[in-house]
A and B are shown apart, each in its own frame.
Chain A
Amino acid sequence: MKNKLFASIPSIVFGALIAIAPHTFAYVCKVEKMPMACHWTAQAEIGVGALIAVLGVIALFVAPQIRIGLNIAAVLGALLAIAVPTVLIGVCPGAMMHCHMVTRPTLIVLGVLTIVFSAIAIWLDSRPAKRV
């Protein structure tokens, strides 16, 4: 039960945060005339975050071996969540812009935390079962 919760709850929480952060507390620039890169990053992160959260939900109902696979997928999803604001789409280049100063680091930190917790979950699930 402990391993199951560890393999699912962090993914659900961090996935949800990745999806909602760019639209709420770590907001991106407002669209005025033309949507900027940060706007598309925010849109893409809804999908990436939702994917990680759904993987976490599925992990609640499956066997440990499948949970390992789901957490490997969550790690890859988190790498994507980091790559979207840094490499693939990016944010506004101005260093003092909110999306540059807050949104991008927030997504990087959430991505790193997802990777760390998923890696721990993989390690917990891959240990041999305790002898009675």
Chain B
Amino acid sequence: MSPHISLAGLPLENLRRKPFRTASLITVVAILSVAFFGGSMLAMNLNKGLTSMEERLGADLMVVPQTTESKAEALLTDGTPNTFYFTNDIESKVAKADGIAQITSQTYISSLAAACCAEKLQIIGFDPQTDFVIEPWVASQYDKTLGDGEMVAGANVNVSTDGTIELYGKTWPVVAQLASTGTSLDNSVFVNKATVPQMVAASAKVAKRVMPQEYASKAVSSVLIKVQDGYDAHTVADNIAKLDPQLASVGFVYPGGVTASTKTSLNTMLSYMLVFVVVLWVMGLIVMLAVFSSSVNERKKEFASLRIMGATRGMLISIVIREALITGLAGGVIGVAAASLIVFPFSGYIGKQMQLPYLQVGIGSILGMALVALVFAVLTAAVASLFVAFRLGRPEAYLTLREGE
């Protein structure tokens, strides 16, 4: 008994009988969907990383030792751990400048690789009494005061199951682990200032001392300043430089400027990505138009036969459009799945390679974007088929069928 093909099942049967043409069309749509969904997810993750970075930069101005500005900037974005510090009491001198609303200091030490199989960590010593940058963030997840010898760990820090971390051959208790920010702060541990000398002493026992013992209790890597309303960070920096000849040579980092430059490089990259996706999409649309046209052209006799059997012009148009919709949907699903296999499992690696704040968006946004990508893929296939579908059925069916005789 021969299989019965209904009008509703005809588009699927047509696609099945021409596997090479169908596979080619699905491949084109899948490539477009990979570019669209993958590109959009990267853009969304980068934007989320940037927003997170802006939230973490509570200071308007950082005073750092001469020539260490780039190291301090790297600390704010996505850089390697560093150790640098002033060798004199800088905070009290800087505090005398005009235009300062809040002032605090931090000490940065780069650890050795923490215990086994871990990368170097950035140790950040801060003063919980005066801090206005890290403390509010820590307070959102740990409501007690950080005790001496205790640590708060960034999201990527490998904390052992007993809630400790091994640094410089010593085990330190971790009282809280912070949420991911997409910046290098995720690879940092935070301690209070009183813990810094303990760390320096511990470092001397296992390797080269990270800083001379005499500086351990007073070393300051950066002075963070929130400027008063009506003052500009650059003006306050000038005021500081004029205070003392010693301060004339210090380095200044403007976290707002770091955010702005990161935003600029991010926007440049996003615009290149957008151009690439648009060009690819236009090319894909042209290829699909060409394939649909040639396919409809070579199937003229088939459509003429259907007309003679009683199919209306609308029915023929509907068959072609439904074939395109099935192709678009299949290509879209394959494309979204293929992009997901790259973007999600390799999220950490992509973030590291980009050297930009990169933070995975939530499941709701991912599902929403997948849906948009699918709709876009289906619409593209539908638009490509619409151009040729309306040419169908125009010639006389009998003449078409006798063509070439």
Please state if A95 and B348 are interface contacts (CB–CB under 8 Å): yes
Please state if A93 and B349 are interface contacts (CB–CB under 8 Å): no
Residue of B with least CB distance to A102? B349
Residues of B within 8 A of A94 (CB): 117-119, 156-158
Please state if A101 and B349 are interface contacts (CB–CB under 8 Å): yes
A interface size (C-beta, 8 A): 22
B348 contact from A32, A93, A96, Cβ within 8 A:
A96
* Interface status of A66 (Cβ within 8 A of chain B): no
Map CB proximity to A onto B109-136 as digits: 1 under 8 Å, 0 otherwise: 0000000111100000000000000000
* Interface status of B368 (Cβ within 8 A of chain A): no
State A93–B157 Cα separation when bound (angstroms). 9
Please state if A109 and B349 are interface contacts (CB–CB under 8 Å): no
Residue of B with least CB distance to A100? B348
Please state if A97 and B346 are interface contacts (CB–CB under 8 Å): no
Q: Which of B111-170 contact A (CB under 8 A)?
A: 116-119, 155-158
* Interface status of B45 (Cβ within 8 A of chain A): no
* Interface status of A46 (Cβ within 8 A of chain B): no
Q: Which of A87-132 contact B (CB under 8 A)?
A: 92-97, 99-102, 104-105, 108-109, 112-113
B349 contact from A29, A33, A36, A105, Cβ within 8 A:
A105
- Shortest CB distance B5–A (Å): 15
- Shortest CB distance A23–B (Å): 17
Residues of B within 8 A of A113 (CB): 341
Residues of A within 8 A of B203 (CB): none
Please state if A96 and B119 are interface contacts (CB–CB under 8 Å): yes
Count the A-B residue pairs with Cβ separation under 8 angstroms: how many? 50
- Shortest CB distance B187–A (Å): 6
Residues of B within 8 A of A78 (CB): none
Please state if B117 and A29 are interface contacts (CB–CB under 8 Å): yes
State A104–B347 Cα separation when bound (angstroms). 12
- Shortest CB distance B403–A (Å): 30
- Shortest CB distance A50–B (Å): 23
Residues of A within 8 A of B119 (CB): 94, 96-97
* Interface status of B395 (Cβ within 8 A of chain A): no
Residues of B within 8 A of A93 (CB): 117, 158
State A38–B117 Cα separation when bound (angstroms). 9
Please state if B341 and A92 are interface contacts (CB–CB under 8 Å): no
B interface size (C-beta, 8 A): 17
Residue of B with least CB distance to A34? B116
* Interface status of B345 (Cβ within 8 A of chain A): yes
B155 contact from A38, A95, A100, Cβ within 8 A:
A95
- Shortest CB distance B337–A (Å): 9
Residues of B within 8 A of A99 (CB): 117
- Shortest CB distance A6–B (Å): 12
Q: Which of B247-285 contact A (CB under 8 A)?
A: none
Please state if B116 and A96 are interface contacts (CB–CB under 8 Å): no
State A94–B187 Cα separation when bound (angstroms). 9
Please state if B345 and A109 are interface contacts (CB–CB under 8 Å): yes
Map CB proximity to B onto A32-46 as digits: 1 under 8 Å, 0 otherwise: 111010100000000
State A33–B346 Cα separation when bound (angstroms). 28
> Which among A33, A101, A104, A109 has the highest number of chain B CB atoms within 10 Å?
A101
Please state if B348 and A36 are interface contacts (CB–CB under 8 Å): no
State A4–B366 Cα separation when bound (angstroms). 37
Residues of B within 8 A of A102 (CB): 346, 349
* Interface status of B352 (Cβ within 8 A of chain A): yes
- Shortest CB distance A123–B (Å): 13
State A33–B345 Cα separation when bound (angstroms). 29
- Shortest CB distance A35–B (Å): 10
Residues of B within 8 A of A97 (CB): 117-119
A92 contact from B118, B155, B345, Cβ within 8 A:
B118
Residues of A within 8 A of B158 (CB): 92-95
Residues of B within 8 A of A104 (CB): 345
Please state if A105 and B352 are interface contacts (CB–CB under 8 Å): no
Please state if A105 and B345 are interface contacts (CB–CB under 8 Å): yes
State A99–B341 Cα separation when bound (angstroms). 17
- Shortest CB distance A41–B (Å): 12
- Shortest CB distance B212–A (Å): 29
State A117–B117 Cα separation when bound (angstroms). 35
Residues of B within 8 A of A29 (CB): 117
Residues of A within 8 A of B116 (CB): 32-34, 36, 92
Please state if B341 and A109 are interface contacts (CB–CB under 8 Å): yes
State A112–B338 Cα separation when bound (angstroms). 10
State A113–B337 Cα separation when bound (angstroms). 11
Residues of A within 8 A of B187 (CB): 96
| 13 CB < 8 A contacts A-B | A36-B117, A38-B117, A92-B158, A93-B158, A94-B118, A95-B155, A96-B119, A97-B119, A99-B117, A101-B346, A101-B348, A102-B349, A105-B346
- A93-B158, A95-B158, A100-B348 known; 18 new pairs, CB 8 Å cut-off, are A29-B117, A32-B116, A36-B117, A38-B117, A92-B116, A92-B118, A92-B158, A94-B119, A94-B156, A95-B348, A96-B156, A99-B117, A101-B346, A101-B348, A101-B349, A101-B352, A109-B341, A112-B341
